[in-house]
Amino acid sequence: MLLCEPEAYSRAAAEPTFFQTLKKTNTTLTIARLKKVEIPRRSDIFCGMERKPIEPDVWKYALPGGWEALAGKTDADNDILSLKTARANDLWFHVHGLPGSHVILQGPEGVTADSATIKQAAAIAAWHSKARAAGIVPVSCTESKNVSKPRGAKPGSVCIKREKTIKVRPGLPE
């Protein structure tokens, strides 16, 4: 809370440096002329701009049955995709032991993916990795709620629990 004269508050809205000048001049105000003014917290202000949710830059693949696979393009996109965009029950994929994109399999709420859809998403994860030219590639799969980021880790680095390994040939859906 800040106490100031009503006309001082209207001047402050038009002139952002008004309160600094008021402070420097040591102006004394009578209690009768003071008014309570609510000042927004610093966390509510973001450089004068509204906060917008950050959307990751991803490759999107439509799969049969209303399913969609999202693959991150960069380490930062992988972080946003895996930790912010993914819902708790979405499936998360990444090629085992090599650099590559994080892939999220999203579908209708309350419906579980069949094995063909899961294998297609795993093939997408293998395609967007260093193992693209390999024959058969192991891909880790888990629910997104089992993916976490260690404190201080580089972008794109995550820890996973309860993973299953699926062996697939890298490829994109037709």
CA 107/CA 67 separation, integer angstroms: 4
Residues 82 and 139 in one domain: yes
**Structural domain of 130:** 58-168
Spell out, as residue ranges, where the chain has pLDDT lower than 50: 1-2, 30-32, 45
CA 151 to chain centre: 16
Residues 83 and 133 in one domain: yes
pLDDT at 160: 92
pLDDT at 147: 94
* Strands (DSSP E) found in the chain: 2-4, 35-37, 58-63, 67-72, 91-95, 103-106, 137-143, 147-148, 159-160, 164-168
**pTM exceeding 0.85:** no
Helix (H) / strand (E) element for 10: namely helix 6-14
Residues 62 and 40 in one domain: no
Residues 13 and 75 in one domain: no
Structure tokens at 78: 């992988």
CA 83/CA 54 separation, integer angstroms: 12
